[in-house]
Amino acid sequence: MNADPLRPRVYLAGPDIFRPDHPAVFRELKRLCSACGLEGVAPSDAHIDLAGARDDDEQARRIYQGNVDLIHSCSGVIANLQCFRGLEPDSGTVFEVGFAIALGKPVVAYGVPAGSYADRVRAARPCGTDSHGVLREQADGTEVEGRGQRLNLMLTGATPLAEDAASAVRMLARLLGAGAP
Q: What is the pLDDT of residues 41-96, one digit of tens each?
A: 999 998 898 888 899 999 999 999 999 999 999 999 999 999 999 999 999 999 99
- Mean pLDDT within 18-43: 97
Which residues sit opposite 78 in a β-bridge?
A: 12, 108
pTM (two decimals): 0.92
> How much is the mean pLDDT over the chain?
94
Which residues lie closer than 8 Å to 172 by C-beta, 6 or more apart? Answer: 10, 38, 76, 77, 78, 106, 107, 108
